[in-house]
Amino acid sequence: MNAIRQPVVSTSNVAKSFGGFTAVGGVSLDIYDSEAVAIIGPNGAGKSTFFDLLTGRKIPDSGEVRLFGEPVTDLPPWQRVRRGLGRSFQISSVFRNATVLENVQIGLMLARGRAWNMFGRASAMLRQEAGAALEQVGLQAKRDMLAGDLSYGDQRTLELAVALSTKPRVLLLDEPTAGMGREESRKCLELIRAIAASERIPIVFVEHDMDVVFSFATRVVVLAAGKVLIDAEPQAVRSDSRVKEAYFGEDI
Ligand SMILES: Nc1ncnc2c1ncn2[C@@H]1O[C@H](COP(=O)(O)OP(=O)(O)O)[C@@H](O)[C@H]1O
Ligand SMILES: [Mg+2]
């Protein structure tokens, strides 16, 4: 192993408050190639906020975010996507009145910083790229359906296709299986795992289902009250009594 191996994604002491309430209180984390890092923690721990600092939806009050060694702390999301970041969010973000294929095309356009009014011209161009991403997740047969008519699980899978369409070098997924049934969520994670393995993309994901976390993650980061409580291999986290304490009162 190279001693000066560079992290794919790196934060140093990032913090974010909302009106005096500290959601993320100084988190430093390095994510390396070939890792699948699960971020877990009780409700309100700051997982989504931390995630937003990585994707650029929110800008930290202090600290730094780096992507492939370059500072991106203040860059908007699409510029991070352009640098190789693929992401999907906890709340489903498909355009329900656009078709499945159009959703991926729109995602591609936004990722490239093009304006909406270019859609007419760009759509022809992006058909092939968008189609390839749908193929990758097994949604190609549903490409002409309205996204709003897809099952919930398929909508989340569509978001994965949108994330993959830009050929990311790292994938960030905030609760990719949120709202899915157990069976559906297993299938979705299996798909993500297979894609990550075949494309060799490191993954950072927020996940509630502990079975999924421990079967998939190579490293688990436990956030509690906006700070890293534990950062360790899954087995070590599973047996750490501090995890149960952090989740006190919640089902895990
Ligand atoms: N935009 C916001 N305005 C005010 N408070 C927020 C905002 N976003 C998150 N918070 C608060 O920050 C804390 C962390 O939220 P979040 O990052 O969503 O936690 P998690 O994803 O771990 O459940 C919560 O107490 C939440 O209410
Ligand atoms: Mg969240």
- The ligand 1 atom at the shortest distance from the C-alpha of residue 58 is 1
Q: Is there a domain that residue 4 lies in?
A: no
20 alpha carbon – ligand 1 mean position (Å): 12
Q: Is there a domain that residue 251 lies in?
A: no
Mean per-residue pLDDT for 81-100? 86
Q: Tokens 């997982």 map to which residue? A: 47
The predicted-structure confidence for 26-39, as pLDDT tens digits, reads as follows 999 999 998 999 99
Determine the residue of 14, 16, 17, 21 to mutate for testing ligand 1's pocket, defined as the one with the most ligand atoms within 8 A of the Cβ atom: 21
Q: Is there a domain that residue 29 lies in?
A: yes
User: Is the CB of residue 56 less than 8 Å from the CB of residue 81?
Assistant: no
Query: In Å, how far from its chain's centre is CA 210?
Result: 17
Mean per-residue pLDDT for 200-215? 88
Q: Is there a domain that residue 216 lies in?
A: yes
Q: What is the pLDDT of residue 73?
A: 98
Question: Does ligand 1 come within 6 angstroms of the Cβ of 45?
Answer: yes
Task: Name the residue type at position 219.
Answer: R
Number of H helices, E strands in the chain: 9, 10
Determine the residue of 18, 43, 54, 91 to mutate for testing ligand 1's pocket, defined as the one with the most ligand atoms within 8 A of the Cβ atom: 18
92 alpha carbon – ligand 2 mean position (Å): 12
Mean per-residue pLDDT for 15-36? 96
Q: Is there a domain that residue 2 lies in?
A: no
Q: Is there a domain that residue 171 lies in?
A: yes
Q: What is the pLDDT of residue 19?
A: 94
Confidence of residue 25 (pLDDT cuts 50, 70, 90): very high
Which domain CATH number covers 189? 3.40.50.300
Residue nearest to atom 7 of ligand 1 (CA): 18
Question: Does ligand 1 come within 6 angstroms of the Cβ of 165?
Answer: no
Q: Which of 28-32, 172-176, 198-202 has the highest mean pLDDT?
A: 28-32
Give the side-chain half-sphere CA count within 13 A for 16: 23
What b/e string do you get for 87-120 counting C-beta neighbours within 10 Å, with b at 16 or more? Answer: bbbbeeebeeebbbbbbbbbbbbbbeebeeeeee
Domain ranges, residue 85: 9-246
Above pLDDT 70, what percent of the chain? 92
Q: Is there a domain that residue 112 lies in?
A: yes
User: Is the CB of residue 202 less than 8 Å from the CB of residue 166?
Assistant: no
Q: Is there a domain that residue 1 lies in?
A: no
Considering its fold, how many domains does the chain have in total? 1
